[in-house]
Structure 1
Amino acid sequence: MIHLVRHGEAAGERMDLAGADPGLSELGRRQVQALANRLAFRPVRQVLHGPSRRTTETASILTENLGAGATVSDLLADRTPVPSSERSSDYPTHRWEWFHDVPEAERDLDGTDLTAAWHKLWFEHHDEEVVLVTHAFVVAWFVREVLNAPPATWMRIGPIGNATLTSIGPNIAGEPVVETFNAEVVLPI
């Protein structure tokens, strides 16, 4: 079972700046703690996370509470699938301009890196309980890949909430199926 987790809420209001790498807000830490409580009875032994500060902090809270090890993985880095000129017709025309504003460092042409990342992660971890901490667009692309849906589908999946849980496990034929999607945890008062 692979548990996809979007990082907890990021600190600060300047997330839109290219190169910004904020950590978690106080609410974000509480969200992740509640998620850790939800996962506490699962046999999770490993937490893989992207290299950003907020995914690293999310993984740290999870590992402290789950007794699992944490490993950084570039496969879970923040990426945005951007269509090549040959594939732009896969997306509605009203989306085309939005892609121009995607920072160069986050661009994943036709989602090829994300697709390869998903298949590698599934192949290596489908038979164990592992938590993958990443970003909203990555979770949406992975779900799109599991569903074998058209490329633009990832933009209609969600919104993926902070510290939400999406669980993917094998069906009887060993194929990945979405078992839980974007499940929010209830914060204690």
Structure 2
Amino acid sequence: MGTRYLYIARHGDADAFGNLTDRGREQARLLGRRLAHLPIEAIWHSPLPRAADSSRELNIFLTGKVTVGEAPELIDHVPYVPTPAETPPAWVPFFDGYASEEADAGCAIADSLTARFGTASFDAIGTRDDDVHEVLITHAYPIAWLVRDALDAPPQRWLGLNSANTALTVIEHRLQLPPTIIMFNDMGHLPPQLQWTGFPDVPRP
């Protein structure tokens, strides 16, 4: 039985209108170089332009022939709205007045996300004997949800997991075994001046 390798990254640095900056394009190209030696079959991206453009940039440094496709499950969304008792004090203003319809819609997207990408089964047959390597270009919240799901952590634990632009998270899925998180938020392919974008501007290691 093959292993499903997911290489998950947040899109490159974007401007206030959601378009990639020059810095974001360079980040995506460097991520592509890092992944270039791997037998990537497909790049799946969020419908939003900053994710789609990041996917095209990094594909230049793969074979240039990798399938690049849109996956609606990767859209930026709040996957789970915690109850008041589950909400850390710093997050209370963010969720205050959050509509139940919005919460239900986000939960439905999150369920679709894990059903499609949080499993070792991924095609019409359900399994394959060979290994599969896929790239997901998405946003901070869906990455947090996929990591939380892999750890089988309580749903509110997606809070507090953040990802820098084009930082790499790798999750392995094998049939009948728990998922394995190989790395999270790794920025080793980025020079210091391109690291930690997407986080508050404070001193970082």
Judge same fold: TM > 0.5, yes or no: yes
Amino acid at match of 2:9: V
| Correspondence for 1:35 among 31, 36, 39 | 31
| Correspondence for 1:77 among 63, 67, 75 | 75
Amino acid at match of 2:11: H
Preserved CA contact (<8 Å) 1:47 1:133: yes
Structure with a larger share of its residues in helix: 1
Amino acid at match of 2:42: Q
Query: TM-score, length-normalised on structure 2?
Result: 0.76
Deviations 1:92-143 (A, max 9, x none): 35423212477999x4437342133122223317941000110011101110
Preserved CA contact (<8 Å) 1:30 1:187: no
- 2: CA distance, partners of 1:108 / 1:6: 22
- 1: CA distance, partners of 2:86 / 2:107: 12
- 2: CA distance, partners of 1:96 / 1:65: 42
Q: CA deviation at 1:170?
A: 2.9
Aligned equivalent of 1:183: 186
Amino acid at match of 1:2: L
Preserved CA contact (<8 Å) 1:108 1:114: no
Q: Secondary structure at the match of 1:66?
A: coil
Aligned equivalent of 1:57: 53
Aligned equivalent of 1:139: 143
Amino acid at match of 2:160: R
Give the direction of change, closer, same or farther, for the CA distance of 1:47–1:102 in structure 2 (3 Å limit). farther
Aligned equivalent of 1:169: 172
Query: TM-score, length-normalised on structure 1?
Result: 0.81
Gaps spanning 5+ residues in structure 1: where? 15-19
Identity of aligned residues (%): 26
- 2: CA distance, partners of 1:103 / 1:6: 26
RMSD (Å), alpha carbons: 2.7
Q: Secondary structure at the match of 1:124?
A: coil
- 2: CA distance, partners of 1:183 / 1:102: 32
Aligned equivalent of 2:88: 92
Question: What is the total number of aligned residue pairs between the two structures?
Answer: 177
Aligned equivalent of 1:151: 155
